[in-house]
Structure 1
Amino acid sequence: MRSDLILIGVIGKAHGVRGLVRVHSYADDPATLEEYEALQDEQGRSWSLRWRGADGVAELRDARGNLISDRTAAQALVNTRLYVSRDLLPETEEEEFYHSDLIGMEAWEGTASLGRILMVHDYGGGASLEIEGGLIIPFTRACVPEVDLAARTVRIVRPAEVSGEEGQGVSGRSAEQQV
């Protein structure tokens, strides 16, 4: 798969018997998915999408314009990831980043490397960064005060709840003191 592709949506379950599917959009405005002439999947196939409902229901067409028109074909596409070429996306504002820009960056705490960012999670309550070794850091200015896109690094300041030594709990007390 090309490295310049950005994940913009995922096809969910089939909706009805006429080939409609639910699509989870990662765009700020889901309506923009209709504007992209060619959404690509992981197999390199191209798709176009038209919304057909207010709750994420859409119809899909392949690169030749063939409509997915039955439930069986729609079900075969469940969990298909849809990507768009990076150059088609708007430039980010200052202090705004695409998740794909952050993944793979080296996380530093002082002079120590914590590892690379593996994933950016966002479940609606704010984004968090998953760093090698299982460390999860809230993606806030307080915890990530510096993002250097050119150097591909981030500076981390762990909150007290996750900065304790091995064997210590979130309060900073040792295991013996917590009894």
Structure 2
Amino acid sequence: MSSDRPIVLAAIIGAHGLQGEVRLKLFTEDMGAYRTLDGAGRSFTLKTIRPGPNGAVARFAEIGDRNAAEALRGTELSVPRSALPPLAPGEYYHVDLIGLPCLVDGAPVGVAAMVEDFGAGDVLEIEKPDGKRFMVPVAKAVTIEPDRLLIDPEFVE
């Protein structure tokens, strides 16, 4: 679960003002904890961040004006997996579950395709070998092991 692949923390959704600030859609709770992010084949140094419409408004040292900010619309900003804070026992990052094999009573039923949070807790979307997908509540139906996910048979379609 600890590869150093890039983890997307935000996406630039547009410019804000004339001085090169950008509007961000956030995929993390604490974007301010990361000073350097990668995107569009280059690095960006976070100078300031504050709450804004649909996420946050940020200023990066490398973006000097509105035109430069607009040109980056759609850019995903990431950090290496190793830059994420360590987890307490029983915690996990959604990205660490994606791609893990899912088993029911020792038999494979599919692969973890996505983790969603609809407000009542995480929901795991599992893709079966035939391409069909089904969802299970993580808290009630999933036992997380380092290299696989064990699914309660009562929740399998």
| TM-score of the pair, normalised by structure 2 | 0.80
- Relative to 1, partners in 2 of residues 1:123 and 1:72: Cα closer, same or farther, differing over 3 Å? farther
User: 2:21 aligned with 1:23, yes or no?
Assistant: no
Aligned to 1:58: 58
Structure 1, unaligned stretches of length 5 or more?
A: 165-179
- Relative to 1, partners in 2 of residues 1:77 and 1:125: Cα closer, same or farther, differing over 3 Å? farther
Q: Deviations over 1:80-125 (max 9, x none)?
A: 1111122222211111111221111001122331211112223444
Which aligned pairs between 1:123-138 and structure 2 lie closer than 5 A?
123-132=118-127, 133-138=132-137
Report if aligned partners of 2:13, 2:24 keep a CA contact under 8 Å in 1.
yes
Structure richer in strand, relative to its length: 2
Tell me which stretches of 4 or more aligned residues in structure 1 moved more than 4 Å.
Answer: none
Identity percentage over the alignment?
34
Aligned to 1:169: none
Larger Rg: 1
Distance in 1 (alpha carbons) for counterparts of 2:19 and 2:153: 50
Deviation at 1:39, TM superposition (A): 0.8
Distance in 1 (alpha carbons) for counterparts of 2:102 and 2:49: 42
Structure 2, unaligned stretches of length 5 or more?
A: none
Report if aligned partners of 1:105, 1:153 keep a CA contact under 8 Å in 2.
yes
| TM-score of the pair, normalised by structure 1 | 0.71
3-state SS of 1:12 partner: strand
Distance in 1 (alpha carbons) for counterparts of 2:11 and 2:154: 33
Aligned to 2:138: 139
Distance in 1 (alpha carbons) for counterparts of 2:84 and 2:104: 32
